[in-house]
Structures are given as structure tokens and as C-alpha cells.
Amino acid sequence: MVICSNKRIVHSTGVKHQGATSQHYSPTKVMCLKITYNCFLVSSGIILVPDKGVGVSAVIMDGKAISKEIQTEITQEVAQFVEQAGITPCLAAVLVGDDPASEVYVRNKHRACERVGITSQMHKLPASTTQKELLTLINQLNLANDVHGILIQLPLPEGIDTLLVLDAVDPRKDVDAFHPENVGLISQGRPRFLPCTPHGVQQILDRCGIEMSGKHVVIVGRSDIVGKPMSMLLTARNSTRGPQAANATVTLCHSRTRNLPEVCRSADVIVAAIGVAKFITADMVKPGAAVVDVGINRTEEGLCGDVDFEKVREVAGHITPVPGGVGPLTVTMLMYNTLDAAKLFAGR
């Protein structure tokens, strides 16, 4: 039997395959492209995992650098739009309560607005704010002609119906793409706005030269914010980056998925968004696969993602770090949507 993936070749017979560059073959180990791999037999075939300490390391997909690149593009588009339309895009952020993490996120979004030329408003409400008071503010922002995008920072305090609040945002100003009308448009392949984190993942993959068309993508996590919309973006016929960044075959996994490690090993691309620290381990990754870590978890050792980064990077072909991977893109794609919302307002 011969299994070949990007010139990494296993020979159960020990017979040399044309095009290989190794000098040593055996049923248990094979030196391929000067890399020693351990061979593991699973029900779907043989998988390869590099020997510990071999020095193999995945290409790091630098979300910070990609984010800066996109923000430069947005800055130019904003300047051109302001000159042509006479309208400055504006994002209104609503923060209820005193959650420190939420305050940091909102502050980062405000700074991003400043960098790209978008104005921003901060509406900070006390934790004692009632649902009625919050809905009143949202209605005022919906009617304000100088506000083009509305962001409701989550989580909201207990006693406030999150879905009711998100549904109250004008779908034409819903730059998080949480409103059911916008979700429905995405499912039909005619999006008004794209959800920020999934769109950021798509941008990272394409700008790192990883084509999605025809690839098998395994998404671990079925949340409404990442997993579900991610599956819709990757299975769409086209994308903001072109058809090569879409048209994937997607498997959406969750807590009831059977044989999850085996499913993950079949993937060309893994998107981890499950909210469990270091859940994706090296034996769950096919050699050479791209691994995108959407998770961010606070542990005693500090911040980490849903992927066991240090070990998985020895197997994967490409991988995003945490922090510095998907996170910066989430904020940047919010700027992208706010500009689109202003264009929508100008063309109404």
C-alpha cells in the first residue's frame, strides 16, 4: 500500500516509490523529504506523525500581519468613499456592565476605527440597565442617520434577553451579521454582511495561499457565531476573495460527533472553535493540513487556543497562533462591514 500526501510517502512494503527522496524505508518508519515519520494504522488507513524533536514546524499564519494589510486596504477605501459620498462611516458600540474583557474588546475596536478613518461612538451603560432601556437606545441608533453600524458587545448582563436585543438591531446596521435576516441572506448565497470571525478565517487562509475549492474542511464547534456561519462561507460558490476561497466540502462537528479524531484526520483544513483549551491534539491532524485556531482560553499558564499549538505545529503544514492569529482579523472585518454599511446607506 502507498499513501501519498504532498510527497510524504508511506511504504508498507518497503519498496521505493518514484519521486521519493528518502534513503530509509521500513513498515514502521519512513524518511521522507529528510523527515522521519512514525506510522500509525487506523481504520481509514495509515497516518504519519513526525518523530518528536525532528524539527519539523508548520508555517505560522500571522493574523496580525494580515490584519494590518487589510486595514491598509480599508483605509484607502474609506478615504475614497468619504471623498465621493461626503459621508464618514460611523460605528456605534453598546457596552452594558463592567466586564473587563468586554471593555478591552470595545477599546480595541475603537482604536481600529481610528486607524482606518471610521468614526466611532461608545455607549456605556451600567449593569443595572433594564432591557427596555437598552432597547430604547438601540431604536435611537437605528434611526440615527449618522450611525451606519451598530455593535452590541456580548455577553449582556443576566436578565436581558440576548436574542431579543440582537434582533432589535436594524439588519442594515447589523455589522456583526447576527440578525436572522442577515443569516438567511448568507445561507442563500447573497450576503449583506459577513460574520466577522468566519470572514477573518477565510481571509487568513486565502491570503496564505491555501485554496479551499474541493478541499475537505472539518469545523469543530457548531456555534451560531463561528461554526455554523463558517460552514456556509466555505461551502458558498464564491467569496470576497474569489471562488478559490470557497467551494469546500465541509464537515461540521460537535459534542455528539462520533470518532472525532478520525474525522479530523481526514481534513485538509481544520477550524477549531470549541472553547476547550488544547482540545485538538497532534494525533488528530493529518500531516500537512492547515489548522486554524479560533479559540481563546485563559489558563494558569496564560492564554491558549483550542489547539495544542506546540505539538500540532510539528504535524500541520500551516497553523494560526493564539494570540495573534484569528483575533486581530475579527476586529478588522468589523471595519470592513462598517464601511459596507455606510455604502449601503449612501446608496439607499
Residue 253: what are its φ and ψ, rounded to 5°?
-100, 160
Catalytic residue IDs: 109, 153, 176
Residue 168 CA to residue 345 CA, distance in Å, equals 18
Q: Rounded distance, CA 72 to CA 49, Å?
A: 39
Residues 175/151, Cβ–Cβ less than 8 Å:
yes
- Distances in whole angstroms, Cα of residue 217 to Cα of each of 126, 228, 241, 287, 292: 42, 13, 18, 14, 11
What are the residues facing 32 on neighbouring strands?
Answer: 35
Q: Is the dihedral of CA 32, 5, 252, 321 positive or negative?
A: positive
In the 8-state DSSP scheme, what is residue 237?
S
Put the strands of the sheet holding 290-293 in their side by side order. 59-60, 318-319, 290-293, 269-272, 216-220, 249-253
CA angle 310/47/280 to nearest 5° reads 35
Q: List, in order, residues 6 or more apart from 160 with CB less than 8 Å away.
A: 96, 129, 131, 134
Closest CA to 141 of 127, 121, 158, 160: 121
Round to whole Å and give the CA distance between 31 and 15.
13
3-state secondary structure 6-63: CCEEEECCCCCCCCCCCCCECCCEEEECCEEEEEEEECCEEEEEECCCCCCCCEECCH
Q: State whether residue 129 is helix, strand or coil.
A: coil
